[in-house]
């Protein structure tokens, strides 16, 4: 059988991405020259994808940008994260609009469930609620750990460690009838006992993330 | 059907062996045929507390290894009828205990005895795990101080996950709290956790509070279980604990600081 004269195959390449944060061509050109001067050989003939996420102006001159890059021996293969108007403009001058791997393969969202534990969590025990909220009906002892990708609710005293939003969900909370915790953490931001005391932890409360810091507020009981 | 009771704590030196000896003696005094087994292989103590150290010929490990039969190894207590001691081996280590071996011995004892008391070694290694594995009831011996309470909490976790009852999905092991070396005076001054503190943290029913007492050391040294000394507060408190174990409801004694009399205040106690 004759070998076909062309074949289409999928393959992935690593490309450098140039982030443009300014729409002033002169500034871009100057900063680019400064960067290239550090390692001129490295960039010659390098294929580039231009990230335009920071450019809001619709009449941004992509062709002009392409000329600046080409004149410095850089090869623009496409643009990414651009507004609709800029994407259209790029297509008209023969540039591809590409999506980065992270955007293209969006994480399939697993349905969130709830894990319920109807006993005290003793010292040395560890409970992890993967992709779920965690409800403990009982106390969490010193030296015990309760971890959840979602929120944690404790109907008892929290004396051990509680880590909510273990997979990075910043909108999770830790609620406990009584907080005497060794450590509380939400999406990686944590407080130790002393931080809790400094922040006047309420006898019963809800701990959540506000911006980059944890806050604790009492529950109306 | 025999009941297997483990006396455990996690932490050492809290009074497991003293309590095992007292509770076993108490049950036998109530007319129940009882055997108390020393699981502390290599650090045998129970025989001393029971005052039968000179009569040990064969031990628990000999029976497990088939080098002796149960009747040869069991020591009949001289004071209390219906009470027997199965001593530990002093020359071996905890690895001599196997699940199969221990299971077989307990099965054989269960045919003959009403209560089997397992005196657990400290720690959470093989010896302690073997002692609690077959238990129906656990008496968690705890001193009113934070490290002992935390270790007890750890052992309670083990009972919930590592015991035979947990593995077979049966009704969980019945857990009771036995608070030992309790000193009401030091609770008042804030040096010691109170009964309420410990109960709140461990959240299991209280079966007894044994006051700190000179009588305990005296009894241990003379090889007489402290429960025999019914003049002492510790002896009486152990009697109460045994009654509660048998299902009686009794008020707790020795929780309040004793008011010292005028003369005592001057001359000390």
Task: Pick B160's closest partner by Cβ from A119, A143, A157.
Answer: A119
Distance from CA of A160 to the nearest CA of B (A): 11
Chains A and B: how many Cβ contacts under 8 Å?
37
ipTM, two decimals, is 0.75
Q: Which of A150, A162, A159, A154 is nearest to A136 (CA)?
A: A154
Q: What is the pLDDT at residue A105?
A: 53
Listed as own residue / partner, the contacts of A161-168 with beta carbons closer than 8 Å and 24 or more positions apart are A161/A185, A163/A190, A164/A134, A165/A209, A166/A128, A167/A131
In this prediction, what percent of chain A has a pLDDT beyond 70? 91
pLDDT per residue as tens digits for the range A167-211: 999 999 999 999 999 999 999 999 998 888 887 666 788 999 998
pLDDT-based confidence at residue A156 (cuts at 50, 70, 90):
very high
Half-sphere exposure of A214 (CA within 13 A, CB side): 28
Chain B residue with Cα closest to A158: B201
Helix (H, G, I), strand (E, B) or coil at A215: strand
pLDDT at A101 over 80: no
Return d(Cα B175, Cα B128) in angstroms, integer: 16
pLDDT-based confidence at residue A1 (cuts at 50, 70, 90):
low
Q: What is the pLDDT at residue B251?
A: 94
Q: What is the pLDDT at residue B185?
A: 92
Q: What is the pLDDT at residue B263?
A: 61
**Beta strand spans in B133-186 (E):** 137-142, 174-182
Q: Which of A76, A102, A79 is nearest to A89 (CA)?
A: A79
Task: Pick B153's closest partner by Cβ from A119, A122, A138.
Answer: A122
Distance from CA of A125 to the nearest CA of B (A): 7
pLDDT at A30 over 90: no
Return d(Cα A213, Cα A207) in angstroms, integer: 10
Got the DSSP string for A170-209? Answer: TT-EEEEEEE--SEEEETTEEEEHHHHHHTT--SSEEEEE
Q: What is the pLDDT at residue A59?
A: 80
pLDDT at A46 over 90: no
Return d(Cα B18, Cα B36) in angstroms, integer: 12
Q: Which residue has the tokens 């690895």?
A: B95
Distance from CA of B15 to the nearest CA of A (A): 21
- Spans in chain B with pLDDT lower than 70: 259-269
Tokens of B186: 């030091």
Q: Is B154 on the interface with A (CB under 8 A)?
A: yes
Q: Is B157 on the interface with A (CB under 8 A)?
A: yes
Q: What is the pLDDT at residue A202?
A: 65
Q: Do B160 and A123 touch (CB under 8 A)?
A: no
Rounded to an integer, the average pLDDT of A157-165 is: 95
Global model pTM greater than 0.80: no
Q: Do B153 and A123 touch (CB under 8 A)?
A: yes
Q: What is the pLDDT at residue B266?
A: 64
Q: What is the pLDDT at residue A218?
A: 84
Which of A123, A143, A156 is the mutation pick for testing B, counting most B CBs within 10 A? A123
pLDDT at A104 over 80: no
Q: Do B156 and A124 touch (CB under 8 A)?
A: no
Is B4 in contact with B113 (CB distance < 8 Å)? Answer: no
Chain A residues touching residue B157 (CB < 8 angstroms): 121-125, 141, 144
Question: How distant, in Å, are the alpha carbons of A218, B23, B102, B107, B222 from that of B132?
Answer: 41, 17, 11, 15, 29
pLDDT-based confidence at residue A109 (cuts at 50, 70, 90):
low
């Amino acid at each position: 059988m004759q070998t076909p004269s062309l074949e289409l195959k999928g393959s992935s390449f690593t490309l450098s991405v140039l982030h443009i944060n300014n729409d002033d061509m002169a500034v871009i050109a100057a900063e680019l020259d400064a960067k290239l001067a550090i390692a001129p050989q490295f960039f010659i003939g390098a294929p580039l994808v231009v990230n335009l996420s920071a450019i809001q102006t619709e009449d941004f001159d992509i062709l002009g940008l392409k000329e600046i890059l080409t004149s410095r021996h850089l090869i623009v293969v496409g643009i990414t994260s651009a507004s609709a108007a800029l994407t259209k403009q790029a297509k008209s001058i023969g540039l591809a609009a590409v999506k980065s791997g992270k955007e293209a393969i969006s994480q399939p969202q697993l349905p969130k469930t709830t894990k319920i534990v109807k006993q005290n969590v003793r010292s040395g025990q560890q409970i992890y609620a993967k992709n779920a909220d965690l409800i403990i009906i009982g106390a969490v002892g010193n030296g015990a750990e309760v971890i959840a990708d979602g929120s944690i609710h404790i109907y008892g005293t929290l004396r051990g460690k509680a880590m909510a939003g273990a997979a990075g969900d910043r909108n999770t909370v830790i609620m406990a009838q009584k907080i005497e915790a060794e450590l509380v953490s939400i999406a990686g931001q944590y407080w130790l006992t002393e931080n809790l005391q400094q922040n006047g932890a309420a006898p019963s409360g809800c701990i959540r993330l506000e911006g980059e810091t944890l806050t604790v507020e009492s529950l109306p009981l | 059907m025999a009941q297997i009771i483990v006396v455990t704590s996690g932490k050492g030196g809290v009074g497991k062996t003293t309590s095992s000896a007292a509770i076993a003696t108490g049950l036998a005094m109530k007319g129940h045929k009882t055997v108390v087994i020393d699981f502390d292989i290599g650090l045998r103590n129970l025989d001393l507390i029971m005052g039968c150290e000179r009569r040990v010929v064969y031990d628990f490990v000999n029976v497990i290894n088939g080098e002796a039969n149960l009747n040869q190894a069991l020591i009949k207590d001289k004071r209390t009828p219906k009470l027997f001691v199965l001593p530990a081996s002093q020359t071996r280590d905890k690895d001599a205990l196997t699940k199969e071996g221990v299971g077989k011995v307990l099965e054989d004892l269960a045919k003959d005895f009403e209560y089997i008391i397992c005196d657990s070694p400290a720690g959470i290694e093989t010896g302690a795990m073997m002692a609690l594995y077959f238990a129906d009831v656990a008496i968690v011996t705890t001193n009113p101080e934070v490290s002992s309470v935390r270790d007890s909490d750890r052992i309670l976790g083990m009972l919930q996950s590592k015991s035979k009852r947990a593995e077979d999905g049966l009704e969980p092991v019945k857990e009771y709290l036995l608070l030992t070396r309790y000193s009401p005076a030091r609770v008042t001054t804030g040096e010691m956790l109170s009964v309420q503190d410990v109960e709140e943290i461990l959240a299991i029913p209280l079966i007894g509070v044994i006051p700190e007492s000179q009588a305990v050391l005296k009894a241990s040294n003379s090889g007489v279980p402290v429960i025999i000394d019914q003049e002492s507060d510790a002896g009486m408190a152990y009697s109460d604990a045994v009654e509660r174990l048998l299902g009686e409801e009794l008020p707790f004694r020795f929780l309040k600081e004793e008011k010292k009399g005028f003369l005592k205040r001057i001359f000390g106690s």
